[in-house]
Amino acid sequence: MEISGVNSDQVNSGQVIADQIRVDQRQENDLSLLPAVEPAAIEPIINYVDSLNLALGGDLSKLKQAAAAECACLDISSRLASLFTNASLRGQGYKLVKVLINSDGPDQKVFDVVINRSALTKIEKNGGQQQIWSGSEISNQFVVAKRDGVWQLIQIR
C-alpha cells in the first residue's frame, strides 16, 4: 500500500506521526489523513490491505498472518486458494483510501475504513477465458485489539 514514502516498519517503530500521513498519494485533492492514534494500532489495517494485494498474486502466506485466527476476514484466503487452482487474477488490487477513528479505547479501537478495489480480470488456466470483475469502493469497520502488547485485527464488519 502506498502511504507517501512510509512503510509498516516505520509505523511500527513509531517513526511516523500518524495524523501527518497522506493515505492517498495519487489523488492530490484527497485530504484524507490517518487518525491521530497510536501508530501501531493502525498497522494491522495496513498489513491486511498489503496482504490482500499479495494474495491477488497468489501469495496467501501473509494474508493468513494478517489478523487474529478467529477473524472471519481470513476466510477470503480459502476462497482465493480455491480460485487459484483453476485461474489467476490480474489488476491493480486494493488501495487504502481513508481511515477514521470510530471508537478509541485503550485496548480496542474501531476504525471506519474505505478501500478501493480496482477492476480485476479472472483468467482461466485452461483455455485463457477472461472475466472482468468491476472495481468497487468498500466501506467497513475494522476492529483492532491489543493482545499481549501487540495490536491485532480481530474483526471486520
Q: Decide if 129 is inside a domain.
A: no
The most distant pair of C-alpha atoms in the chain lies apart, rounded to whole Å, by 53
Query: Coil, helix or strand for 22?
Result: strand
- Look up the domain containing 35 and give its range: 8-88+101-113+140-156
Q: Decide if 93 is inside a domain.
A: no
- Count of domains observed in the chain: 1
pTM of the prediction? 0.78
Q: Decide if 96 is inside a domain.
A: no
**pLDDT of the chain, 157 residues: tens digit per residue:** 433 334 444 444 433 333 333 333 333 334 346 788 999 999 999 999 999 999 999 999 999 999 999 999 999 999 999 999 999 999 999 999 999 999 999 999 999 999 999 999 999 999 999 999 999 999 999 999 999 999 999 999 9
Query: Coil, helix or strand for 114?
Result: strand
- CA dist 64 and 96 (Å) reads 19
Q: Decide if 106 is inside a domain.
A: yes
Q: Decide if 72 is inside a domain.
A: yes
Q: Decide if 13 is inside a domain.
A: yes
Q: Give me the CATH number covering residue 23.
A: 3.10.450
Q: Decide if 127 is inside a domain.
A: no
Residue 134 CB neighbours (<10 A) = 8
- Residue 33: what pLDDT? 61
Q: Decide if 77 is inside a domain.
A: yes
Instruction: Please say whether the beta carbons of 41 and 144 come within 8 A.
Output: yes
